[in-house]
Amino acid sequence: MNLDCVVLAAGLGTRMKSAIPKVLHTVCGIPMLKAVITAAKTLNPERILVVIGKQGELIKNTIGSHEVSYVLQGEPRGTGHALRCARPALRNSKGVIVVLNGDTPLLKPDTIKKFLHHHKKDKNTISVLSFNARNPEHYGRIIRNASGQVVSIVEHRDADSGQKEINEVNSGVYAINHDVLDILDKITENPAKGEYYLTDIIAAASRKNLRTSAYCIGTEEEFMGINTREELSRASALMRRNIIQAWIAKGVNFLDAGSVYIHPDVSIGKETTIYPNVCLEGHTKIGKGSVIYPNVRVRNSDIGNGVVIKDSTVIEDSRVKDRASVGPLACLRPGSQVGTAVRIGNFVEIKKSVIGERTKASHLSYIGDAIVGKDVNIGAGTITCNYDGRAKHTTEIEDGAFIGSDTQLVAPVRIGKGAYIGAGSTITRDVPPMSLATSRVCQTNKEGWAQKRQSKAKSEKLKVKKEEKA
């Protein structure tokens, strides 16, 4: 089926009490408009048009123009007027126009596909997707004639007492054949609001004897529109629940699913175990059989198979390969690559560095702008001194090197293969392979020094007391 998608996103969202456009408020870490666009993409449309209003530039800058085009609704005159604004951009459309709303982030692609299947199968001109609401007063009622044919959609404020008893309501999702878009001109202005409602397209089509249908296949949760921060919070909780339930069904273990936050673009392998208070954000990928302990945050990172991320660790824009162990209380800053079977321990910070296979940095170290080889031992308190006040410099540590505790490696510097650095050294020059480098001050022992110091202190104390008595 040839189709185009139009996403209505020009609403002011005044009830959000925010300077940010309503559709840019985030649900599980992504703007709600992006969630709708992602659902629209699964339909494989010819194009996706987003109708924007006076805050459109902010929407463009946030969403981008790679996968969507934008149409400006100069003044907010209702949903019917918004679709009219998109009509010139649809003049070459040859199929069905699918209309979605930018504030319905829980939209399920499978529901829309099922809806479009019915629209095509029944050879409708205009179709609307409906659902049964527990409390329908916030929605437009679906009005059917005696034969069950939909003839109009009536907003709650305009409904009579009988119509208010109807629970079948409008989801805001429409399928309109491209050759009847002129029916938009038959929508009249609502005198109370001075706006053109897209809901009126059904009544206009009925008057023209066009074939229209309403398909009650959606759920209230799925088509929940976001108008307030309370609704935003509720939608976030629902999306979070849906995401976690989907991963449970795919074989992921959660010790306390209610305390875990997972963004929609995250991927998790089977048999991975997620402990409480874990946040997996952005485009993070977790492999099979890994363990993520409590209070861990991972963002836009690739975590391999059999990896252990221990308590209170932060990983951002980094890669951790198979069977590695990171944490507890470790920090991988952007650009870090941790190799296979590497051990990164507590209070270790890594920034923009490559750590080779089986290397160990077990505790209390900073590794920044470094290239570290295989089987390297990095002792406690090691620092790569990468910044000279103007520029960053690289430290290179080759395979099998041993870096003693409390070492400062002043970049740029290279530690050769198999070299040893004595504890407490400050290294400012390259160390050849298989060498030992030390830079300590010679140790001097002054015997009896402490005893003399204590005697002197005691004498001074007695002198003070005598002066006080005098």
Alpha helices by DSSP H, listed for 76-159, are: 79-86, 109-121
Residue among 161, 40, 13 nearest 98 (CA): 40
Query: What residues are paired with 129 via a beta bridge?
Result: 173, 215
- The structure tokens 């009650």 sit at 216
DSSP label at 186?
Answer: G
C-beta separation of 86 from 6 below 8 A? yes
With residue 41 as reference, give the H or E element that holds it: helix 32-41
In whole angstroms, what separates CA 45 from the centre of its chain? 24
68: left (phi over 0), alpha (psi -120 to 50) or beta: beta
d(CA 318, CA 368) in angstroms, rounded, equals: 13
With residue 466 as reference, give the H or E element that holds it: helix 449-469
Q: What is the CB neighbour count within 10 angstroms for residue 219?
A: 14
d(CA 226, CA 104) in angstroms, rounded, equals: 7
C-beta separation of 287 from 305 below 8 A? yes
Q: Token pair of 122, please?
A: 């029944």
In whole angstroms, what separates CA 316 from the centre of its chain? 12
Q: Is 117 a residue of the active site?
A: no
d(CA 355, CA 376) in angstroms, rounded, equals: 9
- The structure tokens 């706006």 sit at 195
Helix, strand, coil content of the chain in percent (nearest 5): 25, 30, 45
C-beta separation of 256 from 239 below 8 A? no
| Residue among 81, 117, 363, 393 flagged as catalytic | 363
Q: Token pair of 58, please?
A: 């902010």
Number of H helices, E strands in the chain: 7, 39
d(CA 297, CA 331) in angstroms, rounded, equals: 10
**Active-site residue numbers?**
363
